[in-house]
Structure 1
Amino acid sequence: MPIVSLPVIWIIFIDIIAWTFFHLFISAICMRLPLAFFLKDRLLFQVFSWEKSGELWQRLFRVKTWKGFLIDGTIFLKKGYSKKGLHGTRLNDLKIFAAETKRAELTHWLSILPAPLFFLWNPLWAGWVMILYAFLFNLPIIIVQRYNRGRIAAITA
C-alpha cells in the first residue's frame, strides 16, 4: 500500500517526472567523475574470463543485432563521450573508449537503485512494474558496455 494515495493520472505523471529526474541526475553526477577514476582497473568493471572478451554477451543476447538501436545518453545531456563508434584506433583512444564504457555502466547500475522508491506512491503492482522497468531499461545498456569493453580488452591486452 502506497504511503500517498493519488489519482492514477497523477501517479503516471509523477512516475514519468521521477524517472526523468533520476536518469538525468545520476547521469550528471557520473559525468562529473574524473576520467582518471574510470581509467583505473576496478573490480566492479573487471572483464571476467567467463565473459570470453565480450563474446558471452553476443552468444546469449545477440548484441550486435540490436546495440545500434540504443540511444546514446550523451544526446540528452549535450556533453559527454559518444559511444556510438570509436574515436580513433590508437591505444590511448581505445583506453578512453573503454573508460567511458565503465562510466556508462556505472550510470546504468546506479539508475536501477531508485526503483524501490516508486512503491511510496504507486500501488504494489505498479511498484513492481517500476522495478521491472528499471531492469529492462538499464540491463541492455549495461550488457552492451560489457560487450564493448570485453572486445577492447582483448585488443589492448
Structure 2
Amino acid sequence: MGDFTVAGAAVNVACWVVSGILIGWLFARRRWESFESPGPITTLRRCETRERYERFLRVRAWKDLLPEAGTWFGGITKRRLPTYAEGGLRRFAAESLRAERVHFTYAATIVGTLVWMRGWWVIVTLGFGFVVNVPCIVVARYNRLRIAHLA
C-alpha cells in the first residue's frame, strides 16, 4: 500500500471508522463508576494545571469546536455538568476519563494499522491519529483539572 490506490484508501478509512465506532461502543457499555480511578497513563500530573492548559494550549479558545460524542450509545454530554441525580461532578470526572481512555485506545488502534502501510500512508495515518485524538485527550484532561478541586 505504499502507492496510493482507491482500494488502499478505502481499507484504511474503513479500519479507522469501524475501530472508532467499536471502541466508542465498547467503552459506552461500561458503567460510569468504573472510570472513577485513573490509571498510570491517565493520572493527572503535578505539572498539569488548569492555568497551563489555558495559557499555553489555549484550550478554552478551541475546545467547544470539537464534536461531542458523549451522547452516542447512551452516554451523557460533557458540554454541561450532570445534575446531582445523574452523578454530578463525580460523573463528569468519570465521563471525562472515559473520553480520554477512548481516544488513547483509538490512537493505539490507528498506530496498529501501520503494520500493513508503507510510504506516505504512514504519515497520513499518524497525522490522522494526532488530529483526531490529541485535542480530545487535551480537553478531557482539562475538564478533569477544572473540577479536581471541587469533586
TM-score by length of 2: 0.86
1:56 is aligned to 2:52: yes
1:80 is aligned to 2:75: yes
Of 87, 106, 130, 1:111 maps to: 106
Residue aligning to 1:69: 65
Whole-angstrom distance in 2 between the partners of 1:55 and 1:31: 30
TM-fit CA distance, 1:38: 1.0
Whole-angstrom distance in 2 between the partners of 1:128 and 1:73: 26
Structure 1 stretch displaced more, 39-48 or 25-34: 39-48
Any idea what the Cα deviations from partners look like across 1:10-56, whole Å, max 9, x if unmatched?
Answer: 1122222111001011111111222222123544332222112x222
Whole-angstrom distance in 2 between the partners of 1:106 and 1:35: 12
- Contact kept? 2:82, 2:91, Cα under 8 Å: no
- Give the fraction of aligned pairs with identical amino acids, expressed as a percent: 26
Of 35, 40, 49, 1:38 maps to: 35
Structural RMSD (CA):
2.2
Whole-angstrom distance in 2 between the partners of 1:140 and 1:80: 20
1:128 is aligned to 2:129: no
Whole-angstrom distance in 2 between the partners of 1:9 and 1:41: 41
Equivalent residue letter for 1:58 = E
Whole-angstrom distance in 2 between the partners of 1:41 and 1:111: 17
Name the SS of the counterpart of 1:51 in structure 2.
Answer: coil
Equivalent residue letter for 2:76 = Y
Which structure: greater helix fraction? 1
| Distance change >3 Å, CA 145–CA 63, structure 1 → 2 | same
For structure 2, the residue ranges without an aligned partner over 5 or more in a row are none
Structure 1 stretch displaced more, 34-43 or 103-112: 34-43
Name the SS of the counterpart of 1:115 in structure 2.
Answer: helix
Residue aligning to 2:143: 148
Of 4, 14, 17, 1:17 maps to: 14
Aligned residues: 150
Whole-angstrom distance in 2 between the partners of 1:130 and 1:23: 14
Whole-angstrom distance in 2 between the partners of 1:117 and 1:49: 31
TM-score by length of 1: 0.83
For structure 1, the residue ranges without an aligned partner over 5 or more in a row are none
